[in-house]
Chains A and B, each alone.
Chain A
Amino acid sequence: MANTSESGSAVEAMPAAAGQIGAGLGASAGGGANDRRDGLDFTNAKSGRHSQDKVFHAVAVGCGALILVALGAVVLFLLLRAWPIFAGPQAKTSAVFASLSGGKAHGFWQYVGPLVFGTVVIAALALAIAFFVAVGVALFITFYARKRIQTVLNYVVDLLAAIPSVIYGLWGALVLVPAMYPFWNWISTHLGWIPLFAGPAANPPRTVASAAVILAIMIMPIITSMTRDIFAATPRLDQEAALALGATKWEMIKLTALPFAKSGMVSASMLALGRALGETMAVMMVLSPGMTYSWHWLQASKSQTIAANIAAQYPEADSLGVSALIATGLVLFVITFVVNLLARRITKKGGAR
């Protein structure tokens, strides 16, 4: 608001400025030293322009500080609204947790534990699936695709990163999940001796594995677009030196681009992990929820994520139930905060750019 009014007044003030500049120029041409000093002296704090200058400065500082206030407000109001569940009488809160978890948990940590486990496992699995494919795509775009295709692919990747998660969820639930069943079934029959893939595979496979795949598809464009930018920034001379020494194309990539982009790739995947941890709709629409510490990725109703749990339980929760859900939201906030901070730390330390 302040900004628009500011620019409005500046537009009005524009002719005045032009006049002044003109006056300054005229003065230099025709003499009149006083005028010139007036036009160029900007330490004169008494004129109206300078108070305007100060207001503008104050507004800018205020908006900077507002970021601090907003972030503080997020934490403060979440804490305030979550407080009743920690301060309330024991019997009441344990009843709330029991009703939220279907009788499995009676305390906050007991309730949030499996949710944290599910959130972290699904996000990590999604990252493990997405990372190599995403880096492969980024390498393909930067080093293998032709110039014209390159620009088209860049647009496509950016567009895919912007597709709303609810559409990924819709597609995942109605197209991907049914299509994945034969694959999961095959894995559980042939690799079932590994506990992770223990069968029988659920049908429809609304499982941790499917949720991880849909999340992987969602975060892939994010990793790709970030690593692509770093690959593209690899020093041209390094690449040409490698090729001139007789390196093959892959050796060139391995020796120049990958070491150059190492820290960037790690921080990109951390940011993508942060996105995957907080993803709500796609998980909620694909996963059949459960509250266990199970590692059986192909069986349904084993895990649930914090974000999806909030969105799913929120409509039916009473006031104290909402407090409990907001408390889990705070836990999610802390987890993503740590992951994001780590990502920034790595970028800074790596200092590739």
Chain B
Amino acid sequence: MKENDKVTATLKDAQAGTIAVDSVAKASNAMVSNASQSAGPTPDFSKFKPSNALLKQREWKSRIMAGVIGLAFVIAMIPLISLLWTTIARGVKRLNLNFLTFNMSGVIGGMPTPSGGHGGIEHAIIGTLEVTLGAMLISVPVGLMCAIYLTEYARGSKFAKAISLLVNVMSGIPSIVAGLFAFSLFAILMGPGVSNGFEGSVALSILMIPTVVNSSVEMLRIVPDDLREASYALGVTKSRTIVKVVLRTALPGIVSGVILAIARVIGETAPLLMTAGFIVTTNWNLFSGQMTTLPVFVYQEYSKMSVTCPPNAGPGCVASIPSERSWAAALVLIAIVLVLNLVGRLVQHLFSVEAK
């Protein structure tokens, strides 16, 4: 309300201009009719004119601000376009079937492997999928049930308010702290030096649960109460109402929220660096042994930067192969995130109740 007052108050200047124009018009009309009847002294009309300078100044200020805002947009776009372009341009160089279907075992320096490539990310893709799936299996049921509790059972109660505050606190946990937590948990419960994919899943689920809760709560809230009441009126129990009516209605939104949450955690590096570890061979077992994931692979190859080719190495030896592998893996990662994002929005768009 206060803003509204301010709007009117500050806009008086603008209004004054319009009023001035009106009065000038009226005055001049009167004067003209008077003048035709009798030739009196002509008043000074310029006195009533709205100040053109002020109008122009305001107009110019508006234009300048439009320019500044446009400039901010352009400035913002430069690095982002550069990022996408560099990743694509440098990534496609090593991105081929060989790169996607072989792991890093047997890769020596910059020498080509017997399969004809320079190592690949098969193990990292498998690791990423398994670790993320593990995180999903932990956080989706927990997050969804927590959202159901918050919206269906305890709407507005004190405990619910405390829980939703804690969810917000949890969503602010830095990813590295989540990694430290999973590391400490496993080190204390299972002995020091434990490192496996599931540890990474636990770290990621700490980051994923609040996202799932928040998006699900939002989706459950927009389910109209009429539906719930209609269901109760038919004698359906609360739990079945929630499962068959509320969740069914909110499903597209929830699925899309989950997909976006996955897209967010799939690129996490720091927590996986200290929990899931890094190996060169493919590990299918989530619960034992280290596991490479795509973001960690990108980082590891980046930190190697380059290898030295011995002087007697053939032309097949590529000195800059680690950074090339790093860019290619980054491209795969961006592609996965992009696809997940698009699928998430598409699900929401195509199946949402309001849209159709």
Contact = CB atoms under 8 A, between A and B. Distances in A.
The winner among A42, A162, A325 for most chain B CB atoms within 10 A is: A162
A74 B181 contact: yes
Contact of A78 (B68, B180, B299, B338): B180
B213 interface: yes
B10 A49 contact: no
Main secondary structure of the interface of A (DSSP, over half): helix
B213 A67 contact: yes
Interface stretch (A14-22, A104-112, A202-210, A295-303): A14-22
Interface stretch (B99-107, B110-118, B166-174): B166-174
A307 B270 contact: yes
Contacts of B61: 248, 250
Contacts of B150: 64
Contacts of B152: 60
A173 B302 contact: yes
Interface string B41-82: 000000000000000001101100110111111011001101
A93 to B, nearest CB: 18
B177 A57 contact: no
Interface string B158-169: 011011011111
Contacts of B178: 74
Interface string A168-200: 111101111000000000000000000000000
A132 interface: yes
Given A167-B298, A248-B58, A311-B274, A132 B72 contact: yes
Contact of B66 (A21, A249, A319): A249
A171 B83 contact: yes
A220 B40 CA distance: 67
A42 B76 CA distance: 58
Contacts of A140: 69-70, 72-73
A67 B180 contact: no
The winner among A40, A49, A74 for most chain B CB atoms within 10 A is: A74
Main secondary structure of the interface of B (DSSP, over half): helix
B172 A336 contact: yes
A285 B73 contact: no
A3 B150 CA distance: 15
A7 B160 CA distance: 23
**Size class of the contact patch on chain A:** 35 or more
29 contacts: A3-B140, A3-B141, A3-B144, A7-B247, A24-B235, A42-B237, A49-B237, A63-B144, A63-B145, A64-B146, A74-B181, A77-B184, A78-B180, A81-B187, A137-B76, A140-B73, A144-B66, A163-B337, A165-B269, A166-B298, A174-B86, A248-B58, A251-B58, A255-B7, A274-B174, A277-B174, A280-B174, A336-B172, A344-B168
Interface of B: 3-4, 6-8, 10-11, 14-15, 17-18, 58-59, 61-62, 65-66, 68-73, 75-76, 79-80, 82-83, 86-87, 137, 140-146, 148-150, 152-154, 159-160, 162-163, 165-178, 180-181, 183-185, 187-188, 192, 206, 209, 213, 232, 234-240, 242-244, 247, 260, 263-264, 266-270, 273-274, 295, 298-299, 302, 323, 326-327, 330, 333-334, 337-338, 341, 345
